[in-house]
Amino acid sequence: MKNTWIIAKRDLGSFFSSPVFYSVTTVFLILYGIVFFILLNSFSFASFQTHQLRGADIGLNLNEMVIEPSFQQMAVILLFIIPLITMRSFAEEKKSKTFALLLSSPVRLEEIILGKFLACMIVISLMMLLSGYSIGYLVFAGQPEIGPILTGYLGIFLMTGCYVSMGLFASSLTDNQIIAAVIGFGIALFIWFIGWGAQAAGPELGQILEYLSLITHLQHFLKGLIDSSDLAYYLSFILFGLFLTHRVLESSRWR
């Protein structure tokens, strides 16, 4: 565990000293800010209309109309942003030959992979924290339900873990950061699309595909539901991605 943290700390240092992190974070915050603004605007417009039409003060549901869709949009933006964060993890180490330092040190491969995973998760959590002004404002100005917000963040966080473990896998395949990012997008989008395929497929296959899709599982969290099957799905997804990464790195030593 100590070694994991040593590696994560170095990676964090290199994130914060590179322009990639700052540009990615800026783009993320701007995109999310726009989405949030639009959602909030249409909410206030809708509530103004209902107020006028019905004449009574019927509050529209802030959670349903702003918070839930804003989480959904955040999930989409993260899908594009995370491969850019994870792409360098192994590709850069291999390109600059620094991986030899890690491999010749008394550190297990698992610790290296977990260290990289941890660093990416911390970076993305930081980005989410910076975007938290939006929900924070709503909590301050309106009366949203707190429960679904917390579970929503948990869901997004778990989904981020899936993206990161896929991204790390993509990065372990190559020494080229761009290829790593492209493969990362590819896998992430593929798993995203599986959910759409579920509607077209037959009842049995459809159910399987729906279960495999990342987005189906997020819905429950956004509604304020923590289902053990969703937790199991995300955690096993993350572990599977890290396992594949381990296999790729281990086998590349043998070749």
Partner 1 sequence: MIEVEQLSKSYGPREAIRNLSFQIEKGEVVGFLGPNGAGKSTTMNILSCIMPASSGSVKICGFDVFEQSLETRKLIGYLPETPPLYSDMVASDYLTFAARLRNVPSRKARSAVEQVIEKCSLKDVSNRVIGRLSKGYQQRVGIAQALIHDPDILILDEPTIGLDPIQIIEIRKLIQDLASSHTIILSSHILPEITQICKRVIIISEGEIVAVDSLESLTTRLRNGERLILKVRRSDGETIEKLRALDQTNAVVEQETGQFTIDCEPNANIQDAIAKLALDNNWGIVELKPASMTLEDIFLKLTLEENEVKP
Residues found near partner 1 in the complex (CB under 8 A): 3, 6-7, 10, 13-14, 17-18, 96-108, 253-255
As a dihedral over the C-alpha atoms of residue 192, residue 198, residue 204, residue 209, rounded to 10 degrees, the angle is -10
Q: How many CA atoms does the CB half-sphere of 49 hold within 13 Å?
A: 6
Question: In this complex, which beta carbon is closest to partner 1, that of residue 112 or of residue 183?
Answer: 112
Q: Which two tokens stand for residue 255?
A: 């070749």
Question: In this complex, which beta carbon is closest to partner 1, that of residue 84 or of residue 194?
Answer: 84
Q: How many CA atoms does the CB half-sphere of 169 hold within 13 Å?
A: 22
Distance (Å, whole) CA 190 – CA 197:
10
Residue 111 C-beta: closest distance to partner 1, Å: 10
Question: In this complex, which beta carbon is closest to partner 1, that of residue 26 or of residue 98?
Answer: 98
Helices and strands (H, E) in the chain, number of each type: 13, 0
Distance (Å, whole) CA 201 – CA 213:
13
Task: Count CB atoms within 10 A of the CB of residue 205.
Answer: 12
Distance (Å, whole) CA 213 – CA 100:
37
Residue 253 C-beta: closest distance to partner 1, Å: 5
Question: In this complex, which beta carbon is closest to partner 1, that of residue 54 or of residue 97?
Answer: 97
Q: Which of 4, 156, 205, 188 has its CA nearest to residue 84?
A: 188
Residue 20 C-beta: closest distance to partner 1, Å: 11
Distance (Å, whole) CA 106 – CA 89:
20
Question: In this complex, which beta carbon is closest to partner 1, that of residue 106 or of residue 203?
Answer: 106
Residue 224 C-beta: closest distance to partner 1, Å: 43
Residue 11 C-beta: closest distance to partner 1, Å: 10
Question: In this complex, which beta carbon is closest to partner 1, that of residue 93 or of residue 210?
Answer: 93
Residue 249 C-beta: closest distance to partner 1, Å: 12
Question: In this complex, which beta carbon is closest to partner 1, that of residue 9 or of residue 51?
Answer: 9
Q: Measure CA 191 to chain center.
A: 13
> At 106, phi and psi to the nearest 5?
-75, 65
